[in-house]
Structure 1
Amino acid sequence: MNRKVADKAAPTLIGAATAPVAVGLPVYNGEPYLAAALASLLAQRDVDFELWIGDNCSTDGTEELCREAARHDDRIRYRRRERNIGPTANHNRLVHEARSRYFTWAASDDAYEPDRLHKMVAALADRPDAVLAFTSARQIDSGGRTVGHWHNPCRTDHVDPVVRIRDLIGLEHENYHCYGLYLRDVLTKTHLLPPVKNNDRILIAELALYGRFVEVREELLLHRLHEQRLTQSVSARDWYRTQRTDGRRLVLPNVEEAGWYLRAIAGAPLRRQDRVLALLALRPWVRENAAPMARNVARAALDGARMAASASGRLLGK
């Protein structure tokens, strides 16, 4: 369905029905690829959806692009944040702003094939035990040329939640599951995206403890790889310093990731035995991150000592 409006929009109907699908598009200075992303989303076929845009106080032409698109298509809900709240909070706020049965995040530099939303909705409708539907992906470069392909290597459809989380944590893979279509009421039972750099992997591991995923084995997501991507352009430590808004000065990236994995397992609807097995499934992650966690603690101790010495010096100088 493509609900177009005239240049002079009619008043919004009070109590108008919410579309069954909400697409959340968080963006900050997305002008280089945003027009293409919007065009591919608005061209989705055979699906009734709303597009919620969370603009994190962009300083380029993002606002103008979004407002112009919203003037011509009443499926768009544009929200410019009151301040830059950081990428994680912007993603999570969109989940709460939307009210649809199904929810998906879209990236401002990606694109969809025209049937992607429809096929994910159909996949979830056919599988009432599933909590997420996702598709295979084609990786493209800044110019739209194909540079790779992604197909899910994990047993995310397995009946055993421990098998699902064991694969998601233990196997090497690109986590494109996070661009899938969620049951929003289940998504809101998780911690959503925690304030750490690899938060999408933590969320998907947590969600796998709530239910099975259903896969559409078609390359319907066009995921763009370019040097300006946030995850590629900053280290974990710099991500904390530049993107977090909680005011913390001591940075322990790997330690905090471990804490969020533990919270995810502790809050999931598991039997006691499965909870223990899910904790044991973290062993590959712990082995890989043991040395970085030790460095986190050592560096935090040094940073804390420097801050204490600096504060003491300021007091003595008064």
Structure 2
Amino acid sequence: MENKVSPRTASSNTAPSLTGRAAAPVAIGLPVYNGDPYLRLALESLLAQTGVDFELHIADNCSTDGTQELCRDFARRDERVVYHRREHNVGVTANHNLLVGEVDSPYFAWAGADDACRPNRLTALFEALRARPDAVMAFSSAAQINADGEVIGTWQNPCRTDDPDPVVRLRDMVGVEHQGAKRYRKNVSFDSAPMAYGLFRRDMMLRTKLLPPVKNNDRLMLAELALHGPFVEVREPLLLHRHHEQRLTQATTQRDWYRTQRGDGRTFVLPNVEEAGWYLRAVSRSPLPLAERGRAMLALYPWMRANAVPMARNVAKAAVEAARLAVGGRARS
């Protein structure tokens, strides 16, 4: 890891070294690229968490604004902050996933560079998860805020994520986009991120493929994780989840996200087809017995049926693009 500032590598005028200290029980991973204008508030909010020992790991994906200077300043002033700057921009998905493997704590939470949270949120999630040894993660309700920090809605979990039947949990997670809109107020559309910003047992996360390289990937990871165990919910709006025009998922269409964020050089874009493939693979590699995997596959049927037309369009567009490339190649030769 290049360009890393932490208590172990900071200069003599920083906080005391933590060399030899075991990892904190909780690691917060904050991936960021050009975090202005909300990053300072996000960092202050996270460092104001009380009641639990934690470290804050910031993964800067080669920001070009003032993000680097701000983060290095926080790392110098607070021994809980570890700052990583990637050698090159690895893409938004990889920046999230790499963080999970770069920490040693048994509990892990992602944090949004444009969000904030109540001071007792981390403790509430930590205590809720420790009280439920069978649960794989804990999350809270959320207040939806706009660019100015004004509350514009309330998010609550629309899914039976605590059901003892993993197939029920999967069925709800796959259908969350359709069910969730009714749970928002003031016409704010459903967003699975408040749940994805919960507190996870890191070993359970590592049994999944984490975030796949597709849009809406937090929903896919949560669906896979639901096959490993229930989620525990804290029904208080402890997360302040921000919606604004510069937010990547709002500012980028599905096809443009694939072309600009994946970075794998693929010529053809099949977003709905790939999403279907990830659901199927999640079930096939799950810890469920064979008969239960069959039930889980059947639980995917409503999603497959609802997305049959979009998947067909994916294939048709890819075929047209392939034909154009073939004709263009022959014309040049």
TM over 0.5: yes
Alignment match, 1:94: 99
Alignment pair present for 1:48 and 2:53: yes
Query: Deviation per CA, 1:220-245, whole angstroms, max 9, x where unpaired?
Result: 00000111111111111000001011
Normalising by structure 1, we get a TM-score of 0.95
Q: Is the 8 A contact 1:7 1:72 kept in 2?
A: no
Q: 1:12 aligns with which of 17, 35, 38?
A: 17
- Residues 107-186 of structure 1: matches in 2 within 5 Å? 107-171=112-176, 172-173=179-180, 174-175=191-192, 176-186=194-204
Shift of 1:285: 1.5
Aligned to 2:28: 23
Question: Structure 1 10/114 Cα, relative in aligned 2: closer, same or farther at 3 Å?
Answer: closer
Q: Residue type of the partner of 1:203?
A: M
Q: For residues 236-286 of structure 1, what are the alpha-carbon distances to aligned partners after superposition, in whole Å with 9 as ceiling and x for unaligned?
A: 100000101111111100000101111111111001121111111112211
Map 1:1-318 → 2, pairs under 5 A: 8-9=13-14, 12-171=17-176, 172-173=179-180, 174-175=191-192, 176-314=194-332, 316=333
Q: How far, CA to CA, are the matches of 1:77 and 1:285 in structure 2?
A: 41
Secondary structure, in 3 states, of the residue corresponding to 2:138? strand
Q: How far 1:177 sits from its partner (Å)?
A: 1.3
Structure 1 portions without partners, runs of 5+: none
Given that 1:6 and 1:72 are in contact with CA atoms closer than 8 Å, whether structure 2 keeps it comes out as no
TM-score (norm 2): 0.91
Q: What RMSD in Å do the two structures reach over aligned CA positions? A: 1.5
**Aligned residues between the structures:** 312
Write the distance in 2 (CA, Å) between the matches of 1:250 and 1:165: 29
For 1:64 and 1:106, the matched residues in 2 are separated by 19
Distance in 1, matches of 2:16 and 2:233, equals 40
Q: Within 2, Cα distance between the matches of 1:296 and 1:183?
A: 36
Helix, strand or coil at the partner of 1:304: helix
Quote how far apart the aligned CAs of 1:306 are.
Answer: 1.5
State the match for 2:186 in structure 1: none
1:11 Cα deviation (Å)? 6.4
- Cα distance in 2, alignment partners of residues 272 and 281 from structure 1: 14
Return the offset for 1:15.
2.9
The residue type paired with residue 288 of structure 2 is L
- Give distance in 1, aligned partners of 2:120 and 2:92: 28
Q: Aligned residues: percent identity?
A: 62
Task: Tell me the distance in 1 between the aligned counterparts of 2:65 and 2:331.
Answer: 42
The 8 Å contact of residues 102 and 182 in structure 1, kept in 2 or not, is answered as: yes
Letter in 2 for 1:216: V
